[in-house]
Structure 1
Amino acid sequence: MKIIRLATPIALAAAVAGCSREGEISIDGGVGIQATRTACPIVGVPAGTGDITLFDPPASRDAAAIDVVANITNVRGQCGESGNDVVTTVTFDVQARRNRTDSARTVTLPYFLAIVRGGTNVTAKRIGEVTLTFPAGQARAQTSATATSVVARSAATLPEEIRDQLTKRRRAGQEEAAVDPLSAPGVRAAVARATFEALVGFQLTNEQLRYNATR
């Protein structure tokens, strides 16, 4: 699977709001800067995969040939624990509109849930489908879907020595207070290895990906 960078950090920060607070660590340098880390994966949509356009005829890319346009929205994650696993339930809505409304119609669209480790490594991927129903005379339809990610708690937990470096109290005036602990390559690499993302998007063809990137 080709890795697509995430759309915006702000959107992802909002999406992770549903995560459990258990297992969090607070990184506080004692100089007014604090960050919180949790074992819960970041939930989001990879750039370029949040919408899909169907054409009629399929080979055309003319605006007049657009048949159905759908997008993924309201992505949320609810994170919890089950034994040694961190389990996240990802919910999202799919909203769609069509051009021809003369008769009732159902449209089924494929989507994926991918677990990404360290920002680049896809460790698991599942494909699902959502079905939208358009009543006769209606141009818009909406449905909801749910997907679940499972990450081993041991993989998402920082080693104790790394936690100690991150949570060590630093006071203003001390030389080390001016140094970001994440600037150390070993610390940065350990945090990346323990950081997971649960990403949902439409399962697009290469042609559909190109269309989203160039339209």
Structure 2
Amino acid sequence: MECRRVGVKAYGAVALAAVALAGCAGRGEITEGGITAVRSVCPTVAIPAGTGDVTLFDPPASRDASALDLTAFMTNVQSTCSDAGAEVTTTVTFDIEARRTRTDAARSVDLPYFITLVRGGSAVVAKRIGRVQLQFAAGADRARVSGQASTSVGRAAVTLPEDIRRQLTRRRKAGDEDAAIDPLSQPEIRQAVLRATFEALVGFQLTDEQLRYNATR
């Protein structure tokens, strides 16, 4: 599974986009009861906007072009999900590619990254911090390193209650009073789906100043 970037303010929309009806045969399949989709218990994997790259300066307080020290970005983000047991575990792998300005000597650079589990589009329920180490050879301006992170959530938390599932999967026929009503327009159903919807978000662990730089450059 390949991840995508999402805006921080778009978590709710992403969570709803992940909503699908359990027990159906195929995503987007047209059936007698309407259009069906498959809901997975595995979290959606994404990079929050503004956290997929980092820029270092020397001196750190300067933002002049002459002070640019190093730039790095996260790429090739992939995920695997193990959902066979009581815990649903998502493992995310990624590459970090970097380029530096001064190349006279060999250099080692540590960069922190995070993986966060978000519930219902906004509630952070778990977060882990890791580090990767870039190794620049003398005379080389580029380096690359791979990283990995994982997060888990209980199967019960990602499983829709039976009464909610029945309302979502109930066949509706043309002419029925509620045939044209979206079940997710009902607050109790919408909230139940949000509570059972999770995202695994990965990115660089940035300082407030680095976040502002990424947002305004």
CA change 1:5–1:45 in 2 (3 A) is farther
Residue 139 of structure 2: aligned partner:
137
Aligned pairs (5 A) from 1:27-176: 30=32, 33-81=35-83, 83-176=85-178
Task: Name the % identity.
Answer: 60
SS across alignment from 1:122: strand
Count residues with an aligned counterpart.
202
SS across alignment from 1:103: coil
Coordinate RMSD, CA, aligned: 2.4
User: Displacement of 1:139 after TM fit?
Assistant: 1.4
CA change 1:31–1:83 in 2 (3 A) is closer
Query: Residue type of the partner of 2:37?
Result: A
Q: How many angstroms apart in 2 are the aligned matches of 1:188 and 1:159?
A: 12
TM-score, normalization by structure 2: 0.85
Query: Residue type of the partner of 2:136?
Result: F
User: Displacement of 1:48 after TM fit?
Assistant: 0.9
For the 8 Å contact 1:106–1:131, the answer to whether it is kept is yes
Unpaired segments ≥5 residues, structure 2: 1-6
For the 8 Å contact 2:41–2:83, the answer to whether it is kept is no
Residue 5 of structure 1: aligned partner:
9
Q: How many angstroms apart in 2 are the aligned matches of 1:173 and 1:142?
A: 60
Unpaired segments ≥5 residues, structure 1: 17-22
1:153-190 deviation line (CA, Å, top 9, x unaligned): 00110000111111111234444232111111111100
CA change 1:35–1:81 in 2 (3 A) is closer
TM-score, normalization by structure 1: 0.86
Find out whether 1:184 has 2:186 as its counterpart: yes
SS across alignment from 2:159: coil
1:14-66 deviation line (CA, Å, top 9, x unaligned): xx9xxxxxx95438774652222111001111111111000011110112211
Query: Residue type of the partner of 1:123?
Result: V
